[in-house]
Amino acid sequence: MSPLRPHYRRNLPHYQPEPSRRYFLTVRLAGTLPANWRQKGDKLTPGQSFAQLDYHLDRVAKLVIQTLHYLQDPLNLYHLHAWVIMSNHLHILFTAQDETPLARITAALKNHTARQANGLLDRTGHPFSQHESYDRVVRNEAEFGRIWRYIERNPVAAHLVEQPEHYPWSSAHL
C-alpha cells in the first residue's frame, strides 16, 4: 500500500485525508494470556488463579504502555494525547507526525506490541491483536474533547473504577 494513498479498504474502510491529522484508534486484542498461564492439573485456589492471571495481565499492560510511548519517542510517529488499555481492546487518541501515514502507525503499534508481548508471554506465532482496527479522523476541537473524555472514562463505564484517574492503565492515571 502506498503511503500517499488517501483511502484504502480491508474489511473496514480507512481514510487518511492529509498528513498530520488527529486520529482515534481502537485495537481489539486477540490474545493477552500466556500459553501456559494455567497448567492442566494446577491445584490453585480461585484466589491464587486470579492473582496469577492478574500478574500476567499487568505485565502485558505495562508493555503496551511502553510501546505507546516508544512510538512517540524516539520513533516520532505521533504525538500521544490520550489512551486506555482494557482487557480486550485499547483506545488511542493521537496526532500523526509530519507525513506519517496512519497505516504505518497502526502497523508499528500492532507489530511491536505483538513481538514484545508474545515474547513476554512465551508464545510464538499467535496474533496479539485482531487483524482489523477501527480508526476515525478527529474532525474538530469539540469532537477531540469528546473522544478524550470517552477514552479516559472507559474504565468507569465498564464499572472497573469510580474515577478515571483510579485506573492504572490509562493516560488519566498519570
Closest by CA position to 83, among listed 97, 70, 101: 70
Closest by CA position to 24, among listed 82, 98, 101: 82
**pLDDT at position 5:** 47
CA-to-CA separations, 77 to 1, 72, 109, 160, in angstroms, rounded: 18, 6, 10, 31
Higher-confidence residue: 126 or 69? 69
Does the pLDDT at position 21 exceed 90? no
Cα(151)–Cα(91) distance, integer angstroms: 6
Cα(62)–Cα(36) distance, integer angstroms: 20
DSSP string covering 36-101, please? TSS-TT----HHHHHHHHHHHHHHHHHHHHHHHHHHHTTT-SEEEEEEEE-SSEEEEEEEE-TT--
Q: Is 152 helix (H, G, I), strand (E, B) or coil?
A: helix
Asked if residue 145 lies in contact with residue 157, where contact means CB atoms within 8 angstroms, the answer is no
The three cell numbers locating residue 24? 482515534
| Alpha carbon 87 to chain centroid, angstroms | 10
**pLDDT at position 87:** 81
Does the pLDDT at position 35 exceed 60? no
Does the pLDDT at position 32 exceed 80? no
Q: Compute φ and ψ for 73, nearest 5 degrees.
A: -130, 120
Q: What is the pLDDT of residues 57-92, one digit of tens each?
A: 788 889 899 999 999 999 999 999 999 998 888 999
Q: Is 126 helix (H, G, I), strand (E, B) or coil?
A: coil
* Confidence bin at 2 (pLDDT 50/70/90): very low
**pLDDT at position 15:** 56
Does the pLDDT at position 38 exceed 70? no
Higher-confidence residue: 71 or 114? 71
Cα(22)–Cα(28) distance, integer angstroms: 20
Q: What is the pLDDT of residues 40-61, one digit of tens each?
A: 556 777 677 667 767 777 888 8
**pLDDT at position 14:** 52
CB atoms within 10 A of CB 89: 16
Does the pLDDT at position 168 exceed 80? yes
Does the pLDDT at position 8 exceed 50? no
> 25-31+45-139: what fold?
Alpha-Beta Plaits (3.30.70)
